[in-house]
């Protein structure tokens, strides 16, 4: 007797949506890794989807790297200001809310790790989000700030700079070729090493070391379940894939609690 109306999501791997729900019920510790796709239904463009992908318009090396910024500070700054403007008025979707609600109902059972810099998980109420790639709305100095770097003025369309030494302000995101925040990455790896289920939601799985967390989960014996309407580079690492949009699938996957008194099935094999 299906517990939830199975949406028209294709299931590749053993079982079906109800099997995935049983995996969630059985998991004691869940790590969720999200990418740009989880924000797609909020209207935030993804990076690699051909039609709307941000990278379709620019080369990552040019726009999301320190050399690219040093070569064209105004051009890169304008691209980030454009992305910040796109976030005005954007709200979390049902997928973001399902993750936040589940964590609230099951304290300590779910660790949320995101590649996203849009802040929508936090806006949906998720706490302790491990932001691997920083936050789009934040800024920091390009070079280590000196005593003079306490004020910045900007010409229109250009990044603010220190009026004394010319140090530039840059977005507080992790660019290609830059190391991820070691403490955040360490917390994510620690959570993965102890999890028995990893949900990989809305990511092409092309960017490392973030994508490596899914391989790590598989290696340590956790179940790996992908939620994505299209194939990703991590599909071969997954035990199963739910082919569907996360704003539809996550509420079904996470929105229900075990009926009262229902003893959870045995934890996932490690």
To the query of whether residue 133 is one of the catalytic residues in this protein, the response is yes
Indicate whether 246 belongs to the interface with ligand BV8 (CB under 6 A): yes
CB of 29 vs ligand BV8, minimal distance in Å: 23
Indicate whether 96 belongs to the interface with ligand BV8 (CB under 6 A): no
- By CB under 6 A, the residues from 25 to 44 that bind ligand BV8 are 35-38, 40-41
**Residues 152/169, Cβ–Cβ less than 8 Å:** yes
CB of 248 vs ligand BV8, minimal distance in Å: 8
Find the binder of ligand BV8 among 206, 215, 258, 268 (CB under 6 A): 206
Find the binder of ligand BV8 among 120, 174, 240, 242 (CB under 6 A): 174
Residue 189: other Cβ atoms inside 10 A: 17
Indicate whether 245 belongs to the interface with ligand BV8 (CB under 6 A): yes
Task: Give the separation between CA 119 and CA 100, rounded to whole angstroms.
Answer: 13
Query: And the tokens for 161?
Result: 């700079």
| Residue partners of 222: CB distance under 8 A and separation at least 6 | 31, 192, 195, 196, 197, 198, 268, 270
CB of 31 vs ligand BV8, minimal distance in Å: 16
- By CB under 6 A, the residues from 248 to 267 that bind ligand BV8 are none
Find the binder of ligand BV8 among 15, 43, 67, 177 (CB under 6 A): 177
Tell me whether residue 164 or residue 236 sits nearer to ligand BV8 (CB atom).
236
CB of 229 vs ligand BV8, minimal distance in Å: 5
Catalytic one among 82, 96, 106, 133?
Answer: 133
Stretch of 45-53, 104-112, 186-194, 256-264 contacting ligand BV8, by CB under 6 A: 45-53
Indicate whether 97 belongs to the interface with ligand BV8 (CB under 6 A): no
Tell me whether residue 165 or residue 176 sits nearer to ligand BV8 (CB atom).
176
Tell me whether residue 48 or residue 97 sits nearer to ligand BV8 (CB atom).
48
**Residues 247/93, Cβ–Cβ less than 8 Å:** yes
CB of 156 vs ligand BV8, minimal distance in Å: 22
Size of residue set near ligand BV8 by CB under 6 A: 37
Say if strands 152-153 and 161-162 run parallel, antiparallel, or are unpaired.
antiparallel
Tell me whether residue 117 or residue 162 sits nearer to ligand BV8 (CB atom).
117
Binding site for ligand BV8 (CB under 6 A): 35-38, 40-41, 46-49, 53, 64, 115-117, 133, 173-179, 202-204, 206-209, 227-230, 232, 245-246
| Residues with a known catalytic role | 133
């Amino acid at each position: 007797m299906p517990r939830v109306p199975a949406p028209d999501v294709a299931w590749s791997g053993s079982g079906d949506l109800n099997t995935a729900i049983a995996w969630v019920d059985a998991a004691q510790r869940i790590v969720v890794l999200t990418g740009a796709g989880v924000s797609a239904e909020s209207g935030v463009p993804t990076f690699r989807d051909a039609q709307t992908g941000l990278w379709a318009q620019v080369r990552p090396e040019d726009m999301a790297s320190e050399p690219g910024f040093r070569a064209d500070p105004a051009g890169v700054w304008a691209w980030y200001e454009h992305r910040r403007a796109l976030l005005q008025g954007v709200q979390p979707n049902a997928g973001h809310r399902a993750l936040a609600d589940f964590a609230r109902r099951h304290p300590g059972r779910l660790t949320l790790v995101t590649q996203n810099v849009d802040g929508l998980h936090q806006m949906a109420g998720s706490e302790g989000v491990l932001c691997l790639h920083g936050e789009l709305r934040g800024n920091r100095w390009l070079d280590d700030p000196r005593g003079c770097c306490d004020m910045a003025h900007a010409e229109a369309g250009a990044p603010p700079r220190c009026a004394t030494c010319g140090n530039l302000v840059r977005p507080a995101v992790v660019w290609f070729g830059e190391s991820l925040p070691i403490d955040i990455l360490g917390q994510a790896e620690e959570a993965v090493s102890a999890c028995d289920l990893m949900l990989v939601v809305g990511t092409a799985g092309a960017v490392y070391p973030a994508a490596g967390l899914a391989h790590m989960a598989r290696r340590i014996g956790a179940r790996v379940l992908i939620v994505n309407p299209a194939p990703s580079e991590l599909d071969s690492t997954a035990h199963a894939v739910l082919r569907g949009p996360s704003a539809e699938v996550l509420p079904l996957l996470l929105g229900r609690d075990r009926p009262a008194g229902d003893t959870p099935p045995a934890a996932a094999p490690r």
